[in-house]
Structure 1
Amino acid sequence: MVHREAHARRPSIHDVANSAGVSAATVSKVLQGVSTVKPENVQRVFDAVELLGYRVDPLASDLRRAKRRIIGAIVPEFESEFFGSVITQLERLAEQRGYALVAASSRESETREKEILARMHDWRVSGVVLAPVRNEHGPAAGFMKKNGMTGVLIDRVLADDSFDTVSADSVSASAEVASELVERGHRHILVLGLGEQAATVRARLDSFRERAQQLAADTRVDVILSESDVEPLRSSLRDYFAKGERPTAVYSLFLRGTLVALSEFRRRGWHCPNDISLVGFDDAEWMQVTWPAIAAVVQPVRQIAIEAMDVLFRRIEGEGGPPMARLEPCKVLMRESVGSPGSGPHSGGGKRQ
């Protein structure tokens, strides 16, 4: 047991080594992200770091290094549960290695995204985790490449020839959603998305449509994309339903779109799943506690953060080799908001007669 009195002074790397039962050199390797340390020793070091409240002395480190022990993180926005959770995980992982995390929101602006990145370059950050506004070919990624910055791209990316990428396997997940809906008998499905997120939205949409029509050639897939925000989407959805369109299921490719769809259902007095089924990409607490609970594609936030930081620190330490594209599997949870068509007012499918 570690007594509080024994550590009134600032814990040292030797204290961590003693607590973890390893050498100080091993502790140093773990905190620097060296990948050759045994996994069980890595975990023991991290446990000791957390127990003792150990912190690397950033001033001493800066004297030895050209770059500071700072990791930059840029995400499109902080409001969503997904990006909020990503930042939380990245911060925890950075601090485990003795680094500080500086996070900023691009507010869905590529111009702001590049400006933030330029400031981080001025601060001499050791590396950057970037979730781009659009995709891996945006101006921020170009700035990183031009200035020789070390970074990893996450979320709205597929693959890149300059940087490692880590993202959720949304293509496979969307195909699985299509299978679930078609196998339940749905033949008229509406897909909602944001046009800004071109790369990932297109991949999810194409995968969904291809699988649905592969399983049932007569499946009709309608699409509504908003270019910027949820209000245009809400307006387009109302116009769509006002024309008499009655899909038996809706698949939203982003979290706020799921809420817009559910709000419109309730405004019209429709209930899931008897009147219409609903599946959303991304999960949130409200989707789990509402009744009926909303089916969701759950992204592997923790694993994305772990993989991103792991590869980032290995690049910081000088590991070479071509960039790698990592895809982390999602989990599709078919909750009570999904059922078979035919039990509600839309049992005839298509347009209302």
Structure 2
Amino acid sequence: MAQQEARQRRPSIHDVASHAGVSAATVSKVLAGVTTVKPENAQRVLDAVERLAYRVDPLASDMRRAKRRIIGAIMPEFESEFFGQMVTELEGLAEQRGYTLVAASSRESEAREKEILGRMHDWRVAGVVLAPVRNEHGPAASFMKANGMTGVLIDRVLSDDAFDTVSADSAAASAEVARMLVGKGHKHILIIGLAEGAATVRARLEGFRTQALALDPSIRIDVITSEVSVEPLRSSLRDYFGRGERPTAVYSLLLKGTLVALSEFRRR
């Protein structure tokens, strides 16, 4: 029975040291890639590691550092190609540096966003990449600041004093769309979008409206937005088109809005 338990027990660094005839410190150096260990000792360690099928215990290693080699990523949702690709890229970058990425979706809920962040704080993650539901001033970012967490805020943010931020120039991009549509002679444009409280959505809307009106003060710009769910947006679009409204161009601020608009167009 004792022999069976010994076989089932996960081999430790001390087991490797015993089999290799070296100290545990020497084993640690070899596994860390330190080149000052004598070649014959290093080979004995590697042979023992293979023979015992030894694997480094990440929890024990992380406890010594007081931080785990885990990076958290919180995205508003995973359905869009944008956020899915973002997680894929982050995962690759993390693994190149010896970290594991743990990703979760807030599902466009600030309450869930903060809850997930709390779990990651409990796990003592090395840092968090957060694409907030709204902006850099939401409850999640405040939680990170209050608890001294390391993080980067991306996408739906403008700027922040406590964290690095990464985002596109939403206002300038929308202004370019406005120049293109007005330049093509459009006089009635519908703007649709979700997450109306998000910083980037507000910036896109303002950038478009400012540029379009500067080019043509008589242009008509209708705006239909929904806070989170696509269903209220879908309902609003049905009412809008049901009243006989026929804009000559539609500008969608987010991918989900585009998909909803296309489905409603097909109904007409």
Aligned CA distance change for structure 1 residues 240 and 137 (closer, same or farther; 3 Å): same
Separation (CA, whole Å) in 1 of partners of 2:90 and 2:62: 21
TM-score (norm 1): 0.59
1:182/1:196 CA distance change after superposition, 3 Å: closer
Gaps of 5+ in 2: 1-29, 35-54
Q: SS of 2:247's equivalent?
A: coil
**Amino acid in the other structure paired with 1:232:** P
Q: What's the counterpart of residue 347 of structure 1?
A: none
1:107-256 aligned at under 5 Å gives the runs: 107-256=107-256
Distance 2:141 2:224 in 1: 29
Report how far residue 227 of structure 1 moved. Answer: 2.3
- SS of aligned partner of 1:82: helix
Task: Work out whether residues 156 and 197 of structure 1, in 8 Å CA contact, stay in contact via their aligned partners in 2.
Answer: no
What is the rounded CA distance, in whole Å, between the counterparts of 2:167 and 2:76 in structure 1?
A: 15
Hey, what's the Cα distance between the residues in 1 that align with 2:56 and 2:174?
A: 43
Distance 2:102 2:137 in 1: 23
Percentage of identical aligned residues? 78
Query: What displacement does 1:64 show?
Result: 4.5
Deviations 1:316-337 (A, max 9, x none): xxxxxxxxxxxxxxxxxxxxxx
**What is the one-letter code of the residue matched to 2:85?**
S
Q: Following superposition of structure 1 onto structure 2, how do residues 72-91 of structure 1 map, counting pairs within 5 Å?
A: 72-91=72-91
Cα distance between partner residues in 2 of 1:66 and 1:260: 47
After TM superposition, give the deviation of residue 230 of structure 1 in Å.
Answer: 1.2
Tell me, what secondary structure is at the counterpart of 1:108?
A: coil
Do the aligned residues in 2 keep the contact of 1:61 with 1:69 (CA within 8 Å)? no
Q: Which AA in structure 1 matches 2:120? A: M
Q: Which has the higher helix share?
A: 2
Structure scoring higher RCO (CA < 8 A, sep ≥ 6) equals 1
- Give the length in aligned residue pairs: 219
Give TM-score scaled by structure 2 length.
Answer: 0.76
Aligned partners of 2:130 and 2:151 also within 8 Å: yes
Q: Aligned-pair distance for 1:62?
A: 2.2
Of structures 1 and 2, the larger Rg is shown by: 2
User: Secondary structure of 1:173's partner?
Assistant: helix
Which piece of structure 1 moves more, 153-162 or 259-268? 259-268
Segments of structure 1 that go 5 or more residues without pairing to the other structure are 1-10, 16-54, 269-353
- Would you say the 8 A contact 2:178–2:208 is kept in 1? yes
